[in-house]
Structure 1
Amino acid sequence: MNHEQIIKAASFIKGKIEETPRIGLILGSGLGVLADEIENPVKIAYSDIPGFPESTVEGHAGQFVFGTLKGAFVAAMQGRFHFYEGYSMEKVTFPVRVMKEIGIGTLIVTNAAGGINESFEPGDLMLITDHINNIGTNPLIGHNDHNLGVRFPDLSEAYSKNLRLLAKNTAEKTGLSLQEGIYIANSGPSYETPAEIRMLRSWGGDAVGMSTVPEVIVARHSGLEVLGISCISNMAAGILDQPLSHSEVMETTEKVKASFLQFVKELVHDIHSTTKR
């Protein structure tokens, strides 16, 4: 997507809201319920925004929600786009470009993921410390627009150390047990085989999913600070003797809804309090 398309989409959104959001949230499968907590919401369907694709996955509402969350004016994506839906990497990451253009400085990305680390349990929340891109492509392939970022962005701190420390302090304050680990992104949509999970574990992966990494790469290319949170919705293939299903993902995220909501709301409050000083 060229810069003009980004500006066009951002201008459309700016015309619908009265305040500039500084914190953006991308809400993964089953986690979109957080957007329902936003006060005085302005909802904009993706289908209404110029250049936006539409979300096709169950558990993804397919809209932006703007409003106040714990004192901070935020932009929340209630549903995201995935490479496996058939969208180009440019389309998958287009909303991140638009969020940057409307004024976002901090991005919180969430997802539902399969647990590779055998000490994890379904329902755990994992703070993403780093990632491995195993999708087989990169959203920055092709012409680089220097208006958007440098040709070779540094990902040595893809997930902000300061935000991770803040998140750990928030978790401790709210009494939440927070796991930490490395997230691996595969293209999907099929779940991994037990052999693939053994391979991913040997690489150092703690959780696996089908999203997040492209958005984080583009966010860092855009100069955004990023925090990532995975909800361990199930244990990955071969760990437990049971089949995997999207319905299981949705059931687990429903069970952890209360702790997820409390944690992320407090986190938004703490980030807002820190950045406005």
Structure 2
Amino acid sequence: MEEYEQTAAACAFIRQHTSVRPLVGIICGSGLGAAVATLVANPTIAWPVRVMKMLGAEYLFATNAAGGMNRKFKPGDMVVIQDHVDFSSLVGLNPLTGPNDESHLSYEAQLSRDFNHA
């Protein structure tokens, strides 16, 4: 089964069990630890986001554990990420690689509003 069909099947299953149509998708991202090494394909990580989008989510709220350069930060401090540095493309891991199935989602990145302060 192709990714689009898997996503559509997951959405159909979820819709059979709830009438809720989400506006916001939430990822509580920390805690994978060693499980990440067992993933066969990186697109597996993005699949839940695609399911949330297909269910109707327009916004994504993601949390994670991250280090910081500010020595005043203590473990457990809450911060808002305003920008990031992505070194993955330096080792050939580009999130835009792979098949571009227009029936699903476009891989044309529109990053100009990713950190919109409005």
TM-score w.r.t. the length of structure 1 is 0.37
Could you tell me which residue of structure 2 aligns to residue 161 of structure 1? Answer: 117
Larger relative CO (CA 8 A, sep 6+): 1 or 2? 2
Q: Aligned equivalents of 1:95 and 1:29: distance in 2?
A: 15
Could you tell me which residue of structure 2 aligns to residue 8 of structure 1? Answer: 9
- Look at both structures and tell me which one has the larger radius of gyration over its CA atoms: 1
| Deviation for aligned residue 1:140 | 2.5
Q: Aligned equivalents of 1:28 and 1:151: distance in 2?
A: 22
Matches within 5 A, 1:192-231: none
Call closer, same or farther: CA 1:28–1:150 in 2, change over 3 Å: closer
| Deviation for aligned residue 1:155 | 1.3
Matches within 5 A, 1:43-54: none
Q: Aligned equivalents of 1:28 and 1:142: distance in 2?
A: 23
Q: Hey, which of these two has a bigger chunk of strand by percent?
A: 1
Kept in 2: contact 1:89–1:138 (CA 8 A): no
| Deviation for aligned residue 1:27 | 0.7
Call closer, same or farther: CA 1:114–1:95 in 2, change over 3 Å: same
Matches within 5 A, 1:143-154: 143-154=99-110
What CA deviation, in whole Å up to 9, does each residue of 1:45-66 have, x standing for no partner? xxxxxxxxxxx648xxxxxxxx
- Aligned length in residues: 114
Gaps of 5+ in 1: 31-55, 59-80, 163-277
Letter in structure 1 aligned against 2:114: A
Q: Could you tell me the percent identity over the aligned residues?
A: 36
Letter in structure 1 aligned against 2:15: K
Could you tell me which residue of structure 1 aligns to residue 87 of structure 2? Answer: 134
| Deviation for aligned residue 1:16 | 1.3
Could you tell me which residue of structure 1 aligns to residue 26 of structure 2? Answer: 25
Q: CA RMSD in A?
A: 2.4
Gaps of 5+ in 2: none
Q: Aligned equivalents of 2:38 and 2:112: distance in 1?
A: 29
SS in 2 for 1:114: coil
